[in-house]
Amino acid sequence: MMTKRAPKIVNDFDGQPIFSPDVMLHEETVLQYTKEKLLANECNKKRFIELLKKALQKANICVQQAVEDAELTIVNTAISVAPRCDYVRVVGEDIHLLVLLTALASTHSNVFFPKVWKRENVR
């Protein structure tokens, strides 16, 4: 369901404008836009994050939203829970996660950053 507010305009990577209307998201929303178009609107992005957090919490998954530096929050959280776990796996495609883990985790840490294979890399 869309609101009556004017669409937002955001430039994408090739400089073409993206018209991204406000979308009122809920669990049963069937999207009529691409992910890029939906998330180009900051209000839509915030609504999606809140909806995702609620769904994960409903499934008894602990959720921690970063206020500032997401990569640092991810690594610090992994390091802080590591003593209570057999091992902790940090999954992501951002090389900053590996750099931060290397700098902040001890050499005897049970925190791992496995290689993430993209579909085109798998043979």
14 has a pLDDT exceeding 70: no
φ/ψ (deg, to 5) at 57: -65, -35
Q: Would you kindly state where each structural domain of the chain is located, as residue ranges?
A: 9-59, 70-112
Q: Mean pLDDT of all residues in the chain?
A: 82
Question: What is the per-residue pLDDT for 91?
Answer: 86
- Encode pLDDT of 20-76 as tens digits: 778 888 888 888 888 888 888 888 899 999 999 999 999 998 888 888 899 999 999
Separation of alpha carbons 4 and 50, rounded Å: 21
Of 29 and 81, the structure prediction assigns the larger pLDDT to: 81
pLDDT of residue 4: 46
